[in-house]
Amino acid sequence: MSSIPTLLILLAGLFILLQFAPGDTVDALMAQMGGGDPAQAAELRRFYGLEGSAAVRLLDYLWRLVRLDLGFSAIYNKPVATVILERLPATLMLMLSALSFAFFAGMLLGIVSAQRVNGWADTLISLLGLLFYATPSFWLGLMSIVVFSIWLAWLPPGGLYEIGSGATGIWLVLDIARHLIQPTITLALIFLAIYLRIMRASMLEVSTLDFVRTARAKGLTRGEIVRRHVLRNALLPMVTLIGLQAGTMLGGSVVIESVFSLPGIGRLAYESVVQRDLNTLLGIVFVSAVMVICVNFIVDLIYARLDPRISAGA
Amino acid sequence: MKALKHFLMSPAAMLGLVLLVVIIGLALFADVLYPRDPLGLAGRPLQWPNPAGRFLLGTDASGRDIAAQIAHGARTTLLMGIVSTLIAIVIGIVIGALAGFYGGLTDDVLMRLTEAFQTLPNFILLLVLVVVVGSNMTAVTIAIGVVSWPAVARLTRAEFLTLRNREFVQACRTLGLTNRWIIFREVLPNALAPIIVYGSVVMATAILLESALAFLDLSDPNIASWGNLIGQGRKVLRSEWYVSAIPGVAILLTILSVSLVGQGLNDALNPRLRNR
């Protein structure tokens, strides 16, 4: 929470920076309309609050931000907040599914890997992790479309749901899930590689500690030691990583949403760059920073639950 | 020397080094291997890769030689990767060193700044910067460096925190050396090894950022780039998937080589962690 004032300062900095951007929304709009005279451009600028000195506009912008008013998008002809809210569900679903997949698959593979260090399974898993880490997600997405959507025709190549199918209720949920399989896996693999590496190292670290030796001396089986004693302690660094990676994952969703044409805020960010919709772009920066702060808040709560020695207040 | 020997003995690190040398060679000799403009028309469009024919890796939808674009793209990728990594490391070292060495208010302010930067998703921040500075190669390289420094700053700060009260630093103080001398000539050399190793992670990320930007057509369109080629290939993905597939493999191998070398360096320089 302490990062909110700094965040506002940073947003102000970005706002000022964007004043130097060549071309504004009105230029993009005029280009879309096929040109127009300067008088019309001035009229449009006045309408969208783009005239006046930078300082006045900055103060105006910050004041609106405090009231959670993100401004008006000239391109979509709607308030920015509405545009972003419409696009938020797709991104949230993608993030949540990719994060859980990366976390749990990484955890499992890390545990398996740590059981027999330098055995064949460990080597194979480490090798896979290395490959996943080096693969650009957007390329993997395209290749996955070629294999699973074009050759095998198992999965849809893009979109959030089948348009015109009229599915509702459980069928709609299943349809969306089917559409999210490919984006989730391609976005998650790079994070899976990181989680797996951390989990393995963390398991090895914890299993050398005294209480594990005690547990072994007590006659507990290997599985019991892992489940009851090692796992909980080994999970701490994994949870830290969720907070650290939240922003990166949100950034990664920009390309993934573009590859799979998902209507999320990542793709909205890209579209607003192309269309010079600076209000929307700044709004996305603000919303994504708020999302990252929320994730970190939740991570702190989980942390306190996993390790009672850490209190959430501290 | 022991570290070097350990590095050379590790098969993974050597594999990475060999790969990296090949890619660097490709970048250096791109002009010799493919003297013509890699973005110029070379032949009939969409010819499949053919080791026996004129185009080893085929041509793309605009009739440009893919092999030539891969060779010249290696140059773009490495140059942008290395320069933006250097920028990130320099910014990170300066901020981390000042925060760690002086502590107190300086530390508070600089770390707040670092945190705020880490709260913003780096790719989205990069998009904002690209809107402002434009899409030419220099601007994009600087922008990637500017979004990549926070982790380096944190690492440098942590190193400085453990070093700043060591005896050799106190000895420097009693000798009356200036703070600037102590920071850059005494503490920094001792803190540098882990930072350089971390440089491989920064570089891998920088290459990914650049290729993603080029894929979205937001990087310099006048330079042969792997990411851009993947984006071009997307339009013919259904039938001529090789146009996208080939440059992706090039990116994969480059990042793989950088991270293998980085990991090898890490193992060689941190003997304690060797058997992990």
How many residues can be counted in chain A?
314
Q: Do the chains contact at B204 and A134, CB–CB below 8 Å? A: yes
Q: Mean pLDDT of all residues in chain B? A: 86
Instruction: Give the pLDDT band of residue B276 (cuts 50, 70, 90).
Output: very low
**Residues of chain B positioned with their CB less than 8 A from the CB of A249:** 121
Q: What is the pLDDT of residue A311?
A: 59
Q: What is the DSSP letter of B223?
A: S
**Cβ A188 vs Cβ A95: under 8 Å:** no
The Cα B81–Cα B62 span in angstroms is 27
Per-residue pLDDT reduced to its tens digit, A71-115: 777 778 888 888 899 889 999 999 999 999 999 999 999 988 888
User: Cβ contacts (< 8 Å) between A252 and chain B: which residues?
Assistant: 123
Contacts of B259 in chain A (CB under 8 A): 130, 133-134
Chain B residues 96-155 with a CB less than 8 Å from chain A: 112-113, 115-132, 134
Those residues of chain A that have pLDDT short of 50 are 312-314
Distance between CA atoms of residues A101 and A93, nearest Å: 12
Residue A194: closest CA among A259, A139, A135: A135
- Supply the pLDDT for residue A38: 75
- Over residues B173-188, the pLDDT tens digits come to 898 888 888 888 888 8
pLDDT score recorded for residue A314: 42
Find chain A residues with C-beta within 8 A of B134's C-beta. Answer: 22
Backbone phi and psi for residue B59, each to the nearest 5 degrees, phi listed first: -125, 155
First to last CA, chain A: 12
From the list A142, A204, A273, the residue facing B234 with the nearest CB is: A142
Distance to chain A for B121, nearest Cα, Å: 4
Pairwise CB contact (< 8 Å): A134 & B252? yes
CA dist A221 to A89, A216, A217, B12, B164, Å? 44, 7, 10, 35, 46
Q: What confidence tens digit (pLDDT) does each residue in B163-176 have? A: 888 888 888 889 88
Nearest CA in chain B to A151: B238
Which residues of chain B lie closer than 8 angstroms to A9, CB-CB?
116
Q: Which of A10, A21, A150 is nearest residue B131 as measured by Cβ atoms?
A: A21
Any idea which of A100-109, B189-198, B250-259 has the lowest mean pLDDT?
A: B189-198
Of A136, A140, A145, the CB nearest to B211: A136
Distance from CA of A273 to the nearest CA of B (A): 6
**Helix%, strand%, coil% for chain B, nearest 5:** 75, 0, 25
As a whole number of angstroms, the distance between CA A84 and CA A70 comes to 10
Residues 160-189, chain B: which have Cβ within 8 Å of A?
none
ipTM beyond cut 0.90: no
CB contact under 8 A, B124 and A288: yes
pLDDT in tens, B109-161: 898 888 888 888 889 889 988 888 888 889 999 999 999 999 899 999 988 88
Count Cβ atoms below 10 Å from residue A127 Cβ, excluding itself.
11
Distance CA A160, CA B138 (A): 37
Please report the pLDDT score of residue B275 as a whole number. Answer: 47
Helix (H) or strand (E) holding A95: helix A80-115
User: Taking a contact as any Cβ pair under 8 Å apart, which residues of chain B between 231 and 270 contact chain A?
Assistant: 233-234, 237-238, 241, 244-245, 247-248, 251-253, 255-256, 259-260
| Mutation for testing the B interface, residue in A138, A187, A278 having most B CBs under 10 Å | A138
Which of A14, A130, A251 is facing B123, going by the closest CB pair?
Answer: A251
